[in-house]
Structure 1
Amino acid sequence: MTSEAKLSKDDMTVCFILGGPGSGKGTQCAKLVQDFGFVHMSAGDLLREEQQRPGSEYGELIQNCIKEGKIVPSEVTITLLEKKIIESDSNRFLIDGFPRQLDQALAFEKEVIESTLIIYLECSEEVMLKRLLKRGETSGRIDDNKETILKRFKTFLELSYPVVEHFRKSGKVHTVPCEDSVEEVYARVKPIFAELFKQK
């Protein structure tokens, strides 16, 4: 990993936005970008862009993982995120949908930078399924179908939820119920960041 990316925590705010598929991570991030000047990085979007990039060495691997609802190997995702952080002029980053499993969390914090806080958007599978099927009507995403969605739920519970539990031990996790409207959920999320930047 490049030494440039190993910036001190004082210089940088890195927040992980975690939650099951369809919990509203991207929607909440868009509002935080507007109010707090974050750069929003979606691990899923970065992987999809890389998959479509002509000549990508990871393209086929990423495509197969997405199709199967599996997790892309850590080093691929971390490389893409680190590149984006280094290229950016900002020092505030929201990373949504990452870390997807504990080894990603540990590797990112060791090799790139430690996270400042974690938002965990808590949502029932029933609500998330309804949201994703509705999104699938227009998104054109290959993973917005019921079979893949159910695989993604299983992957989240088995591999991603332990990440939330790991960070909870360090007191970094803010759990936010997210089955209400976008505005109601954001009314719970916004004060967490207002408080964070007041302290800095």
Structure 2
Amino acid sequence: MCAKPEDPVEYLESCLQKVKELGGCDKVKWDTFVSQEKKTLPPLNGGQSRRSFLRNVMPENPNFPYRRYDRLPPIHQFSIESDTDLSETAELIEEYEVFDPTRPRPKIVLVIGGPGSGKGTQSLKIAERYGFQYISVGELLRKKIHSASSNRKWSLIAKIITTGELAPQETTITEIKQKLMQIPDEEGIVIDGFPRDVAQALSFEDQICTPDLVVFLACANQRLKERLLKRAEQQGRPDDNLKATQRRLMNFKQNAAPLVKYFQEKGLIMTVKCHCL
């Protein structure tokens, strides 16, 4: 293959004869049959220019629209309308004000805790007690998944959540921002189920605001598991299956301590023991 002989049989015979002359197969090296003759490569078509060389190598074809090697037309300006379902507007990280800077910002209360710790119940009670608006991040994502079930991106997110993993951070933040912009005149807003880890907390602060208060519902892991299994029987949520439950509890165990410590250092957190729920 290296020599590309015109007569392969004659070439093999000469190779075998060379092995005999060397004294057997043990004397054969990797380059024994590589030709030692060095040949200089001819110039490219007599030193012609690259443009004319390409024209000769690739002759013009009337069926090929760009047979001339001229400058290509400019790329059309990106537009949201032409975007696909895998890179829709929600995936674009934009810098914009969530709250009207000319008005007082509503109080933001975040309620965090393990899956099944009663975040939804307690968040609603806080919202009702103080006349605040209530947002469930989990419910927000589930509604989006249901309404965009034919969308490939949201179908993938549905699978991620069903296995007990966290939804993509930027997608979740974008959904929260869009929801907040729909309720600009509230005195306060209680957000249930976000953030789940320190990275999400940092993203929330960078893109939305620093919360005024974080309520952490502390509950034993075994109690959380019992409550999740009971909820699965009653509500049939897809993310309450046994495998997803175990994964969610493991994620919570890994992320809870650093997250609580982060908010403690900022003096924002209030811990509530909820073993009696």
**TM-score interval for Structure 1 and Structure 2 normalised by the shorter chain:** 0.7 to 0.9
Q: State the alpha-carbon separation in 2 of the partners of residues 2 and 147 from structure 1.
A: 37
Letter in 1 for 2:199: D
Q: Give the match's secondary structure for 1:4.
A: coil
Deviation per residue, 1:35-83 (Å, 9 max, x gap): 1111111111111111111354641122111111111111100100011
- Which of 48, 55, 70 does residue 142 from structure 2 map onto? 48
Larger helix share, 1 or 2: 1
- Which of 32, 42, 47 does residue 126 from structure 2 map onto? 32
Q: Give the match's secondary structure for 1:85.
A: helix
Query: Equivalent residue for 2:225?
Result: 129
Check the 8 A contact 1:67/1:142 in 2, yes or no: yes
Change (3 A) 1:58 1:49: farther
Letter in 2 for 1:67: T
Query: Equivalent residue for 2:169?
Result: 74
Q: State the alpha-carbon separation in 1 of the partners of residues 106 and 122 from structure 2.
A: 20
- Which of 160, 166, 176 does residue 262 from structure 2 map onto? 166
- Where does structure 1 differ by over 4 angstroms across 4 or more consecutive aligned residues? 6-10
Does residue 189 of structure 2 align to residue 107 of structure 1? Answer: no
Check the 8 A contact 1:47/1:62 in 2, yes or no: no
Does residue 106 of structure 2 align to residue 15 of structure 1? Answer: no
TM-score by length of 2: 0.61
Does residue 97 of structure 2 align to residue 4 of structure 1? Answer: yes
Check the 8 A contact 2:99/2:105 in 1, yes or no: no
Check the 8 A contact 2:99/2:181 in 1, yes or no: no
Letter in 1 for 2:160: C
Check the 8 A contact 1:50/1:58 in 2, yes or no: no
Select the structure of larger CA radius of gyration: 2
For residue 145 of structure 1, report the CA deviation from its aligned partner: 2.4
Query: Equivalent residue for 2:33?
Result: none
Q: State the alpha-carbon separation in 2 of the partners of residues 64 and 161 from structure 1.
A: 27
TM-score by length of 1: 0.83
Q: State the alpha-carbon separation in 2 of the partners of residues 165 and 58 from structure 1.
A: 33
Letter in 2 for 1:80: E
Query: Equivalent residue for 1:177?
Result: 273
Check the 8 A contact 2:113/2:217 in 1, yes or no: yes
- Which of 231, 236, 239 does residue 143 from structure 1 map onto? 239
Identity in percent: 35
Higher relative contact order (CA 8 A, sep 6+): 1
Q: State the alpha-carbon separation in 2 of the partners of residues 92 and 57 from structure 1.
A: 35
Aligned residues: 181
Query: Equivalent residue for 2:155?
Result: 60
Gaps of 5+ in 2: 1-93
Q: State the alpha-carbon separation in 2 of the partners of residues 7 and 102 from structure 1.
A: 26
Check the 8 A contact 2:107/2:187 in 1, yes or no: yes
Change (3 A) 1:165 1:7: farther
Change (3 A) 1:131 1:25: same
Q: State the alpha-carbon separation in 2 of the partners of residues 11 and 92 from structure 1.
A: 8
